[in-house]
Amino acid sequence: MAIFCKATWSVFVIPVKQQPEPPNFDNKVRSKGNAFLQTVPRPKTWDSREYWRESLSDLYKAYNQVCAYSAQWIPEIEGSPTVDHFVPKSVKPELAYEWSNFRLSCQKMNSRKWIFQDVLDPFQIEHGWFILNFPSLIIKANPDLDEQVKNQVKSTIKRLKLNCDDRCVKHRQDWLMRYCEKKITFDFLKEIAPFIAYELERQNLVESIASIMSVQSHNS
């Protein structure tokens, strides 16, 4: 198990606070990238020019090893942390080497988001836009949102397949059941799956969720 930094509520389904650019970012990434863009302003290929990868370790540390889109811990090797360009490189190549356009993402979520632009920016969402249903662990749009925001939330959930991919739901269930079975503490749940912990607190289920999930398991 990895050693974790102090957790924050910095995950996608609740607001992500943008972290400061690392001191050596300009030398490692931006200067080399911008030199390339001066010669090829709209690249058709980025082969051998993927300088943003040099910032992956900084991104992984800055965002507490948590995927901005799945809201769960990314194992450094098996989970394949990646640099996601929130605004796709094909749309704005001038942002390809900018820290402010990077989001920490597991490989699966990065692939699903790809070049689509119907996913909400983790830096722009607000508390309560996404809610988690217990015991189903299905992520939903808050019904109290205005229609425009509600549709954006639904579009994000659909694009990233946060519910229709059984493995995503199963992954949430695995972490929650470890907490229910007292194999991990609530503080550790905050580290590893902060959205689940946040929703348990918001819905006042921290103490009672074990009985709820036990009934669900018995009825399955």
Mean pLDDT by 10 residues, the chain (220 residues): 36 74 97 98 96 97 91 78 97 98 95 95 91 95 96 96 88 94 95 90 96 73
5, part of any domain: no
User: Residue 213 is which amino acid?
Assistant: M
**CA 14 vs CA 28, 48, 172, 209: distances in Å:** 30, 35, 16, 20
d(CA 219, CA 149): 35
What's the pLDDT at 9? Answer: 35
Q: How far, CA to CA in Å, does 213 sit from each of 26, 165, 176?
A: 48, 20, 9
Q: Would residue 15 count as lying in a domain? A: no
Rounded CA Rg of the chain? 18
**Does residue 17 lie within any of the structural domains?**
no
In a domain, 20, yes or no: no
59 lies in some domain: yes
pLDDT for res 191 = 86
Residue 85: which of 64, 109, 110 has the closest Cα? 110
Q: How many structural domains does the chain have? A: 1
Q: What pLDDT is attached to residue 17?
A: 87
Range of the domain at 180: 25-219
Specify the pLDDT at position 52.
98
Considering the domain boundaries, does residue 18 fall inside one? no
